[in-house]
Amino acid sequence: MAGSLRRAGSSSFATRIIQGTAVEYISLFNRKLGEYGSMAAYFAVFVITVYDVGMRYFFQSPTVWGLELVIAIAAVHYVLAGAYVLGEDKHVRIDVIYQTLPSRARMVLDVVAILLSMIFLAVVVYYGAKQALPAIRSGETSGGGWNSHAPMIMKAAIPCGATLMILECTSRLKLAIGRIAREW
């Protein structure tokens, strides 16, 4: 059936999944979120910080919300950028032993590492959701001077970011298995 779907040129979502283009869309989404999200986050942090410093030192009227908002933006950015970094293969790693191994062993280790990452991230999604859902239901706030919903937003970002990373791992797993199939 998959072959007939491909030959027919159908562009349904199920066909794209079968053909593997959904995996490409995942990577594209993570890349765009990482690029544009980073620009927006850094710009917002810069503007808020300059405004807060200006208000504090020129007008002796610091904001109550500036630091808390900057921390929330940076935290959410940090969590959501994980999938981008994973997709671009720019995460920090120590690969002294990895580089000494033969290419076939490295390919197998790539698959094992991706699968272990997916298991770890699934645990993060599960326990992150266990923390986020009560925070969302109760409308958790910071309790500080501004009393924002930043803790609730940050807690919700953790399972979202881990889910994006699982999806990116799926994309990387497809590539790693394809590499093994071609070169083995």
Ordered by start, the domain boundaries in the chain are 2-183
At residue 98, the pLDDT reads: 86
At residue 5, the pLDDT reads: 37
Mean pLDDT of the chain: 88
Label residue 20 by pLDDT band (50, 70, 90): low
Q: Which residue has the tokens 């059936």?
A: 1
pTM, 2 dp: 0.82
Residue 14 in this model has a pLDDT that exceeds 70 = no
Helices vs. strands in the chain: H and E counts, helices first:
8, 0
Please give the Cα distance from 40 to 51 (Å, whole number): 16
At residue 3, the pLDDT reads: 41
Short-list 115, 73, 117, CA closest to 91 = 117
- Residue, of 60 and 89, whose pLDDT is higher: 60
pLDDT digits (tens, 9 = 90+) for 132-166: 999 999 999 998 888 999 999 999 999 999 999 99
Residue 108 in this model has a pLDDT that exceeds 60 = yes
